[in-house]
Amino acid sequence: MRIAVYGSGGVGGYFGGRLAQIGQDVTFIARNESLSMLRSQGLKVGSIAGDFSIDKISATNNPAEVGVVDYILCCVKSWQVAAMARAIKPMVGPDTLVIPLQNGVEAPYQLCEELDPDNVLGGLCAIVAFQAGPGHIKHSGGNPLIRFGHLDNRPDPRVNTLSEIFNHCSGVKSSIPDDVQAAMWQKFMLITPWSGLGAVSRAPIGVLLEQAETREMLVQATEEIYQLGLAREINLPADSVAKTMATLEGIPPNSTTSMQRDLVRGRPSELDAQNGAVVRLAKEVEVDTPINRFFLNSLRSLELRARGALSFNRRSAHR
């Protein structure tokens, strides 16, 4: 199978690297120093599931050089999805499947604005991984999981084939959800409250769970997303909030989210696709989400500064 991985950060580098490790024909779409390092020295992955490296790996910054592939893993940040959707068109043929792995629930629909919906799956992954340097990925927590399927949940042998390929990889578990949209919303319920509260408090998940006040905020924010999903006719199980909290309990206590790390470091984040999406989607169905709105409003200035739209250097006119 020919597989393109658009993005070479923690998610793309790890899952794409595992595919290359078992001999799949993988091409990374990368840029700048990451592209240079992949071309010159290959990919290095430090993982709690076993370190590995790929000395020779295909990488380019031009999707047209790749041509049509069987699968495309979309591993960029959420705000880059629209541009990526346009860029990957030369790699999309009638039988290509495009798998978005962004946090949030809107990426498949953004892809469908540029691509034939028959080519687009819903998808999600679970992993604590980051780019330690160009061409160097660090997997520090979680048992890597990847799930995907058609948005209408119809069966497709091509989906089964990719899931089977992933299950031949060391350090990866793959499955096809009965309801991919419900699965995406369950991931949304887990990552979004954690991201927002973690970024506001600058504390890892262990501290958030240990302190009664922050734990209650996590529960409330998760409940808001659960009620929002129900209002939007997502088939979420009744025990979704309890299961989400149980999953958070099992995450290494020093773990943080990528959105939290980005905001702390002054970089653009996925705030709009996470807490911002909760508030935006809630308005459409008249659901109140005060905790997620608090996270969004509290973090908005950091996001604007990271994107160059706001300066903190101006002196206040009031004293």
Same domain, 272 and 204: yes
Number of domains in the chain: 2
> CA end-to-end span of the chain, whole Å?
64
User: Which of 149-172 are b and which e, b meaning 16 or more Cβ less than 10 Å from the residue's Cβ?
Assistant: bbbeeeeeeebeebbebbeebebb
Give the C-alpha separation, 9 to 70, whole Å. Answer: 21
Strand ranges in the chain using DSSP code E only, listed in sequence order: 2-6, 25-29, 43-47, 52-54, 58-60, 71-74, 97-100, 121-133, 136-150, 173-175
Among 147, 177, 207, which residue terminates a domain?
A: 177
Give the domain CATH number at 83.
Answer: 3.40.50.720
Same domain, 70 and 99: yes
Same domain, 243 and 149: no
pLDDT-derived band at 232 (thresholds 50, 70, 90) equals: very high
Among 122, 151, 177, which residue terminates a domain?
A: 177
Decide if 315 is inside a domain: no
Same domain, 27 and 118: yes
pLDDT-derived band at 313 (thresholds 50, 70, 90) equals: low
Same domain, 259 and 195: yes
Give the residue from 77, 6, 85, 82 showing the smallest Cα distance to 274.
Answer: 77
Residues 6+ apart with CB under 8 A from 69: 2, 3, 4, 27, 91, 93, 96
Q: What is the pLDDT of residue 318?
A: 46
Q: What pTM did the predictor assign? A: 0.93
CB atoms within 10 A of CB 108: 25
Domain enclosing residue 294, as ranges: 182-306
Q: What is the pLDDT of residue 142?
A: 81
Decide if 128 is inside a domain: yes
Same domain, 96 and 209: no
Percent of the chain exceeding pLDDT 70 equals 97
Q: What is the pLDDT of residue 314?
A: 53
CB 206 within 8 A of CB 253: yes
Q: What is the pLDDT of residue 60?
A: 98
DSSP per residue, 202-236: T--HHHHHHSHHHHHHHHHHHHHHHHHHHHTT---
Q: How far is CA 34 from CA 40, 177, 270, in A?
A: 10, 33, 21
Give the domain CATH number at 293.
Answer: 1.10.1040.10
The answer on pLDDT for 271 being more than 90 is yes
Same domain, 242 and 296: yes
Decide if 147 is inside a domain: yes
Decide if 312 is inside a domain: no
Decide if 169 is inside a domain: yes
Among 144, 177, 210, which residue terminates a domain?
A: 177
Same domain, 301 and 223: yes
Q: What is the pLDDT of residue 311?
A: 73
Same domain, 98 and 20: yes
Give the C-alpha separation, 247 to 188, whole Å. Answer: 13
Decide if 313 is inside a domain: no
Decide if 314 is inside a domain: no
The answer on pLDDT for 317 being more than 70 is no
